[in-house]
Amino acid sequence: MRRRNITYLHCRRTVTLATILTLFLFAPGRVVASAPDIAALCDDAAFTAAQAEDVPYDILRAITRTETGRTVDGVFRPWPWAANAAGQGDWFDSAEAALRHVEGILASGRRNVDVGCFQLNHRWHADGFTSLRVMMDPEANARYAAQFLSQLYGEFGDWDAAVAAYHSRTPAYAARYMARFRDIRAALPDATPPPNTPPGRPRITGPSPLDFSARPTLANQGLGLALQRAAPLLSNIAARPLFGDRP
């Protein structure tokens, strides 16, 4: 795999409702949030990332559901507290439970674990975050994923091709993923953009030879932070697969 350094732009972060709710969910002695509130973290983060990176909001909404979606209270929703290690996916009721689970996996010496709304792979992308908590934060997770998708759009000039490569450069895996993605995108309900969205920033331009490996998604399996944000969120890291190398 060829690798090339990518310089990511600095940005000023604005505290949003999603950020406040994330902090609340990580806080000791918190009241358990409802499933719609938790699921909304991924959509709110997707909206912020879409505005910042000039990526279509409905594409990010569909991707987070393709990656982590499950039916809760009769509604198919994304889920921020999700992890997938070597094909074994799990959803958790709280941020802390998900964090402890992933910490246990990492303590065992395994690094091939996908986390968060957009299932970023720890082996390849932990260096892009100041901590595991930040990597699992919905806004940081979504921003990172949107930057990769923006790079792929710069390479292919087509959003469908970018989404396919986001999952895999192997045609058979990409086609299977896209079939599910298109069904989910077509079924998306209309969304009202969340309030208090920070201003966007220039999108990253230019091609990047990213090599994405196929891997299962949580949604496909049917399985039943105090924010210490880095500045910039991503900085001078080599282009790497977004996901772990799995069949």
**In sequence order, which residues have a C-beta less than 8 Å from that of residue 158 and are 6 or more positions away?**
none
**Model confidence, pTM:** 0.70
Task: Determine, yes or no, domain membership for 51.
Answer: yes
What is the span of the domain harbouring residue 184? 5-238
CA distance 184 to 192: 18
Sheet strands (E) in 78-186: 82-85, 88-91, 113-115, 120-121
Model confidence pLDDT, tens digit, residues 96-136: 999 999 999 999 999 999 999 999 999 988 999 999 999 99
Report residue 165 CA to chain centroid gap. 15
| 78, β-bridge pairs | none
pLDDT, position 130? 95
Question: What is the domain count for the chain?
Answer: 1
Output the six-digit token pair for 91. Answer: 């959803």
Task: Determine, yes or no, domain membership for 243.
Answer: no
Position of tokens 């082996």?
A: 123
Task: Determine, yes or no, domain membership for 247.
Answer: no
Mean of the per-residue pLDDT values for the chain? Answer: 74
Q: Is the pLDDT of residue 223 over 70?
A: no
Task: Determine, yes or no, domain membership for 215.
Answer: yes
pLDDT, position 86? 84
